[in-house]
Amino acid sequence: MDATTSLADKLASKTASSNSLDSSSKSSSLGSKHGAENGILRDTPFAYLEGEEDQDQKNDVTYVCPYRGPVFGALTITNYRLYFRSLPLRDQEPPVVVDVPLGVIARVEKIGGATSRGENSYGIEIFCKDMRNLRFAHKQQNHSRRTVFEKLQANAFPLSYSGKLFAFAHAAAAQPPAAIAAVSAGWDGWAVYEPLAELRRLGVPNDMWRATKLNESYGICDSYPAVWAVPKAASDDFLRRVAQFRSRCRLPVLSWMNPRTQATITRCSQPLVGVSGKRNADDETYLSYIMEANAQSDKLTIMDARPSANAIANKAKGGGYESEDAYKNVEINFLDIHNIHVMRESLRKVKEACYPTTDDSKWQTAIDSTLWLKHIRCILAGAVRIVDKVETMSTSVVVHCSDGWDRTAQLTALSMLLLDPHYRTVRGFEVLIEKEWLSFGHKFQQRIGHGDNKHSDADRSPVFLQFIDSVWQVSQQFVNAFEFNEHFLITIADHLYSCRFGTFLCNTEAERVAEDLKHKTISLWTHINSSLDQYLNPLFPSFTHGPEPVLRPIASVRAVRLWKGLYCRWNPGLCAPQHGCQRTRELLSKQDQLFKHVNELRLKLNNRSNNMQTTTRLASPMH
């Protein structure tokens, strides 16, 4: 099947699914659009996506809602979602709807046994990656729980049962005509990022930097992209030697260049100095090449994302950090961002504080004790320090953590967002994620656990979610600096888990090429770019003056706040149902009307001015 074949997804459902409280809520971005308007018509209350097939259906299930209490209704399980709809007891009573993509499920557990006697004590509890827990009660006598449990296990965790993720079935069932239309309209998400084109936008190649396809077969570094930008002074053989002294062979490679000063941001992993403090002449020379490529400064700054104690401890494992004695004209800064295990535990505490119940008298204390906002502040502060070095001091910066695919990506992507207005547009932000997160090998498969039932895997961590949260924090301080809105960020966060699209599958670019995701799955960006109006920020000054070139957010405790629109959206006591998409459309429509009116007035003014000039010439005496 051609890559474009799968783009028909844009005709399938796009907007918000109902949350677990109200079928009219639009706080999630995962469900179907307007009933059966664009989906596949079947005898169910939702529109099926292409490739979505029934797996099980039960008509006598009770959803134990933590806010409304038990509600009786029908449960449908497909190969993509779990869908529950209550049977209203009174006329005009809105049904309670739960619509959850199976990719969002972290684990499924049986509750109660044959001897359970309490009301609703026998059933299934579902723990989700998006802050929810769901509980369904079954009747013991009809044994409905067993088949529901088995179908959930097989379809929520297909990789643990020799199956395939839904993204492949979804793309295989897509309609070719829509795919062709998507490509012609510029919606094809797989074409959003082209490495050489992005490098040309940054001014590479130039006198000091070159592009290379040395890693085209992923033989030098299997977690790096095929295309790199490196100092022109470094030969391919030299690069091979440098790679051997960096963890996972992740040598310093260009992420961004200031077109005005030539100051750069490069990214890599830790050097393999070990306890004995080994040195490597090639690595030291290579960093000097990066410094010398910037004529504005005779220094190079290394931003090590880790706490200094962690960096020192890594020496015992063969890693470590650059010594200022060995690397001349280099200064090193530690940014105190903790590791993936600390972040996973922090998010678990946020979930406990937000769902299902909260204590108003201890709310702020509970949030503070999670340390989540402190971690977000550290990421923001680190990015601001990078911006200050690159923009104010015109100094090139090298960023790394341990392996260079978690905290490093947070810092490079966020600092690039602050420095370059292009990345604050919808397309630019898509490029930023494709480049800094996907092509440079953030391990999405391991960090999220797509289709995998190992819910306690130590490799899971909300690293990318923290980046999205950090972007939201900046957008709240600079409300007109971003072309996209909050719904855009929530949509990305939701589909990080959904497994409906191929964008966040696999760990590396090499794996995505081997899996042929470009031809066998649909890109999330196709879905978004085909309906841009709901993701646009009406305050973005696209028709007036350009956005601020550089953003410097306040990275302090008083400025960072909990993103209730994401973390608290399932709790009605903390976050009321949002209708931001509709409000955005109304504002954009009003904006269009105002600009049309302004253009009409300008046209009338120009016509009047031209008429007056003509009248003046006709009235002038002849000479």
> Any idea which residues carry the catalytic annotation?
401
Tell me if 340 is assigned to a ligand binding site. Answer: yes
Tell me if 258 is assigned to a ligand binding site. Answer: no
Dihedral, CA of residue 60, residue 65, residue 71 and residue 76, to nearest 10: -40
- In Å, how far are 26, 173, 224, 310, 574 from 280, measured between CA atoms? 56, 53, 22, 22, 55
Concatenated DSSP letters for 533-594? GGGB-TTS-SSSSPPPS------STTT----HHHHSTT-TTTSPPP-HHHHHHHHHHHHHHH
Tell me if 402 is assigned to a ligand binding site. Answer: yes
Tell me if 77 is assigned to a ligand binding site. Answer: no
Tell me if 213 is assigned to a ligand binding site. Answer: no
Are 99 and 86 in contact by the 8 Å Cβ rule? The answer is no
Tell me if 354 is assigned to a ligand binding site. Answer: no
441: left (phi over 0), alpha (psi -120 to 50) or beta: left
Are 18 and 29 in contact by the 8 Å Cβ rule? The answer is no
Preceding amide of 356 cis, omega within 30: yes
Q: Which residues of 525-535 are buried (b: 16+ CB within 10 A; e: fewer)?
A: bbbbbbeeebb
Tell me if 316 is assigned to a ligand binding site. Answer: yes
Find the angle CA(42)-CA(48)-CA(54) to the nearest 5 degrees.
75
CA 261 to chain centre: 30
Tell me if 610 is assigned to a ligand binding site. Answer: no
Tell me if 42 is assigned to a ligand binding site. Answer: no
- In Å, how far are 374, 516, 570 from 367, measured between CA atoms? 10, 42, 17
DSSP 371: -
Tell me if 606 is assigned to a ligand binding site. Answer: no
Distance CA 459, CA 154 (A): 22
Are 330 and 299 in contact by the 8 Å Cβ rule? The answer is yes
Distance CA 122, CA 139 (A): 7
Other Cβ atoms closer than 10 A to 602: 10
Side-chain-facing half-sphere of 525: CA atoms under 13 Å: 22
Dihedral, CA of residue 547, residue 551, residue 556 and residue 560, to nearest 10: 40
Residue matched to tokens 């494992």: 317
Distance CA 177, CA 346 (A): 46
Distance CA 516, CA 399 (A): 31
Antiparallel, parallel or unpaired: β 228-231 and 209-212: antiparallel
Side-chain-facing half-sphere of 370: CA atoms under 13 Å: 22
Nearest residue to 35 (alpha-carbon basis) of 27, 45, 24, 49 = 45
Tell me if 315 is assigned to a ligand binding site. Answer: yes
What's the one-letter identity of residue 9?
Answer: D
Binding residues: 314-317, 339-340, 401-407
Binding residues for substrate: 314-317, 339-340, 401-407
